[in-house]
Amino acid sequence: MKYRSTRGQAPLVSADQALRAGVAPDGGLYLPETLPHFGAEDFAADHDPGALAHRLLAPFFAESPLADSLAGICASAFDFPVPLVTPDPAEPGLQVLELFHGPTGAFKDFGARFLFRAFDAIARADDPITVLAATSGDTGGAVGCAAEGGRHARAVILFPEGRISAFQERQLCCWRAPVTALRVSDDFDACQRLVKAAFADPVLSTRHGLSSANSISIGRLLPQMTYWARASLEVFNRTGTRPGLIVPTGNLGNGFAALLARACGLPIGPVVLATNANATLSDWHASGQYTARQSIATLANAMDVGAPSNFERLSGFGVDLVEDVVRVDDAAIRQRIRSTHAGSGYIACPHTATALEAYARLTPEQRAGRVWIAAATAHPYKFADAVEPLIGQTLAPPPSLADVLQRPIEVTDIAASLGELAAQLDAGRAG
C-alpha cells in the first residue's frame, strides 16, 4: 500500500514513511492510494478488538516494515474495553459507543497508543524518533501515556504555563521516561511557534528524528476506523441492518475515520456529524461552500475548531457523503446533558451531548428501521466543572484517571526560546 498527498505534488510513500513525515512535503495530507474492500463476512463474530483491528488495518500496512509487527501493535494498543451501551432502555434504537475507557479517559487514546507503538517498531537506537507536541488538551495526555515505557520513540510535550486546568497539567506531567513535559512561560501560540521552529531547524530535526502526533497523521486516523468497524459489525450481525453513526467532531478526525470505514465496505449506513457552535462544517453541508473561520470557545472545547485540518481529506468526496451536520450550541449541550440524566441517569460529557442532541433532532423517518450509534468521546469526569452543576451531583474519577491523580509529577520550566528547547531535547537524548 502506498500513500499519496491530497495536493498531488509529492512522491508516493510507504505507510511507515507517511507516519514519520506526518504532513507530506507539498503541505498536503496523506491518503491511501487505494482502499481495501471488506464484507461483513470477513470478520468472524468472535474477533477481539486487537484481532479485528489487525484484520482491518493489515492491507494499509502491506509491504511496509510495520507489516510483521502490526498484530502485536494492535493487540497492545487496543487492550481496553469499548462497550456499546443502551443509555435509555425506553429508546433501544440509540446505542452509545463509549470510547473513553482507555488510560486517559478520552478517545485520543486509540490514535496515540497505535501511533506510538508503530513509532517504537520503526525507530532504532541510531535512528530515533522524537514526537514533539504542543498541547492544550486531551492529545498531550494521550501522547504522554502512550509513549511511556517506549524504547526508541520518545515524547516531548510543551504546554503554556497557567493556561490549562490543574488536572490537565497533571495528565501531561505524570508520565515516566521517555516522556518529557516542558512548561513554557508563554501562551499556547508561543508553544506552537516553538515546535514549528524546531521542525524547521534541519540540525535539530535530523538529530532527534522529530515527528508529530497531531490529528492529521494517518497513524492516528487509521486506528480510529477500528472501533467504528467493530461496533457496526456488532449491530449489523444482530439486526441485519446497517447502523447510522453520529460522530461528535471538530477537526474531522473521528468523522473522517467513520467515512473511511464505510468506504472500505464496513456495514455502516448514514453518517451524521455533530459539532459544537463552530459553524464551518454545518455551513459547508448546507451551502456546499467551505469557509474556514476563527474558532469560538464552547463547552465541548476539544471540538473548538474553525478550520478543520482533515477537511482537505474529505473535500475530494463532496457533501453528499455526509447525511447531515448538526450544530449544537452551548445552551443545547447543557439542556441535553440535563435531560439525558433526568430521563435515564446516563451522564454525558459535553462532546457526547452534541451527538445525543443530534440523535434527538433526527426525523422519525431517519430513525425508523435502523439502530443509530452515537460516539461518547470523553469520560464526563474530565469535564466535571461543566457537568456536575447540570446533573446536581459530583462525579467520581474512573480508575485510570484516579491513577493519574496519584502519580508523582515531573516538569521542567523553560522560556519560549528555541535554544532552551534544543537544550532539553539534547539532555533527554543523553539521559
Ligand X SMILES: *Cc1c(COP(=O)(O)O)cnc(C)c1O
* Contact residues for ligand X, defined by CB under 6 A: 106, 108, 138, 215, 248-255, 302-303, 351, 377-378
Q: Which three cell numbers stand for residue 292?
A: 474556514
Contacts of 406 (CB under 8 A, 6+ apart): none
When the beta carbons of 57 and 258 are compared against ligand X, the nearer one is 258
**Residue 295 Cβ vs ligand X, minimum distance, rounded to whole Å:** 11
- State which residue, 135 or 232, has the beta carbon closest to ligand X: 135
Q: Looking at beta carbons only, is 249 or 340 nearer to ligand X? A: 249
Minimum Å distance from CB 377 to ligand X?
Answer: 3
> HSE of 242 in the Cβ direction (CA atoms, 13 Å)?
16
Provide, rounded to whole angstroms, the least separation between the CB of residue 209 and ligand X: 25
Nearest to 252 by CA among 271, 234, 235, 233: 271
Please work out, in degrees rounded to the nearest 5, the angle formed at the alpha carbon of residue 138 by the alpha carbons of 133 and 143: 45
Question: For cell 431517519, what's the residue?
Answer: 366
Closer CB to ligand X, residue 232 or residue 278? 278
Please say which residue, 19 or 378, places its beta carbon nearer to ligand X. 378
Nearer of residues 70 and 302 to ligand X, judged by Cβ: 302
Q: Are strands 210-211 and 244-248 parallel, antiparallel or unpaired?
A: unpaired
Taking the least distance from each CB to ligand X, the nearer of 101 and 367 is: 101
Would the CA dihedral through 258, 260, 266, 270 be positive or negative? Answer: positive
C-alpha cell at 113: 497508543
CA atoms within 13 A on the CB side of 16: 17
Specify whether the CB–CB gap between 146 and 50 falls below 8 A.
no
Q: How far is the CB of 358 from ligand X (least distance, A)?
A: 13
Smaller CB distance to ligand X: residue 208 or 262? 262
DSSP state of 382: G
Residue 251 CB, shortest distance to ligand X, in Å, is: 3
Q: Which residue carries 526560546 as its cell?
A: 417
**DSSP 8-state symbol, 396:** P
Rounded Cα–Cα distance for residues 119 and 19 (Å):
8
Q: What's 394's DSSP letter?
A: P
Q: Minimum distance from CB of 189 to ligand X (Å)?
A: 19
Considering beta carbons, is residue 120 or 138 the nearer one to ligand X?
A: 138
From the CB of 329, what's the least distance to ligand X, in Å? 16
* Least spacing, CB of residue 31 vs ligand X, in Å: 16
Q: Which is nearer to ligand X, 43 or 311 (CB)?
A: 311
Here the cell at position 33 is 492510494
Q: Are 9 and 26 in contact (CB under 8 A)?
A: yes
In degrees and rounded to multiples of 5, residue 361 shows phi and psi of: -90, 0
The torsion angle over the Cα atoms of residues 200, 201, 207 and 211, rounded to 10 degrees, is: -20
Amino acid at 110: F
To ligand X, the closest distance from the beta carbon of 54 in angstroms equals 23
Query: Which amino acid does the sequence have at 164?
Result: I
* Closer of 57 and 112 to ligand X (Cβ): 112
Q: How far is the CB of 364 from ligand X (least distance, A)?
A: 28
At closest approach, how far in Å is the CB of 356 from ligand X? Answer: 13
Report yes or no: 132 and 147 within 8 Å, Cβ to Cβ: no
3-state secondary structure of 319: helix
Residue nearest to ligand X (CB): 253
Candidates 232, 241, 245, 235; CA nearest to 370 is: 241
Report how far residue 105's alpha carbon sits from residue 174's, in angstroms, rounded to the nearest whole number.
15
